[in-house]
Amino acid sequence: MEDFSYQKPKTVDDAREAYSASADGLFLAGGQTILPVMKLGLAAPSAVIDLGGIEGLRAILVTDSVVSIGAMATHATVAASGDVRQAIPALSDLAGMIGDPQVRTRGTIGGSIANNDPAADYPAAVLALNATITTDKRQIAADDFFVAMFETALEEGEIITNVEFPVADAAAYAKFANPASRFALAGVFVARTGNSVRVAVTGAGTCVFRVADMEAALAKDFSATALDGITVATENLNTDIHASAEYRGHLIGVMAKRAVEAAQTKGGGK
């Protein structure tokens, strides 16, 4: 790994300034993706600005209608939060499925969605629950946030401060994991709020995406059988040694049904 200057600012403003002042700066959240990337020499920033010293970015606040998770809240914290589990159990479940216990100790929601790995779990929850991403500059709707593989609506130097998830009436996440890496080969997050249903898919395409046909069918009839016959076009799905686009397309259907079934039985919040 190439060496770099390391800074640990105490405020978001200081972090932004440190970033602006650096030639080739990089924000460090939990580091569970970027540090392995740097170790392999695939990224070599001149400055690393650690967001871990900023007060308040780890807070988790739950009201009747919103679960607000600080950008630096770790997956382990979210998975273990009784408040989150009571409000949106699917979100707790998802956080507990990310990586492994050690990754969950360090990895953060802000880091995960800012990175927007096509096989990461959190983007599915953010998109399906129609979350709002708050940054140091603005609020971004989930539908506008995830742009393309490893690409988001974040501008240069913009810092996520928290993610607000509206509490859904029923939600669940079903993940089929890559047996080697344990990333999602296909993960489907289904959320129903009133008569509105959102279905978000991760792992299968180049970027998390919604499935309009499934959403429409589930809005009419929130049951697994409502998804019978609905297929996902496979031309934009990933093919690699672990799974073909065709298989991923099939898995989306299976996982969507399983998510709906889980949401019906145990996916309701308070």
Q: How far is the CB of 254 from other proteins (least distance, A)?
A: 5
What span, in angstroms and rounded, lies between the C-alpha atoms of 98 and 92? 10
105 near other proteins, judged by CB under 8 A:
yes
What span, in angstroms and rounded, lies between the C-alpha atoms of 171 and 91? 8
100 near other proteins, judged by CB under 8 A:
yes
Which residues, in sequence order, are bridge partners of residue 146? 152
Nearer to other proteins by Cβ, of 43 and 219: the residue is 43
Q: Are 199 and 211 in contact (CB under 8 A)?
A: yes
Residue with tokens 């509490």: 167
58 near other proteins, judged by CB under 8 A:
no
Cβ-count burial 68-86 (b if 16+ within 10 Å, e if not): bbbbbbbbbbbbebeebbe
Q: Are 205 and 236 in contact (CB under 8 A)?
A: yes
Q: Which of residues 195-224 bind other proteins (CB under 8 A)?
A: none
Q: How far is the CB of 45 from other proteins (least distance, A)?
A: 10
Using CB under 8 A as the criterion, what x/- string covers residues 165-194 for binding other proteins?
-----------x-xxxxx------------
Chain residues in the site for other proteins (CB under 8 A): 1-6, 8, 28, 31-32, 35-36, 38-40, 48, 50, 52, 76, 80, 99-103, 105-106, 176, 178-182, 241-244, 247, 250-251, 254
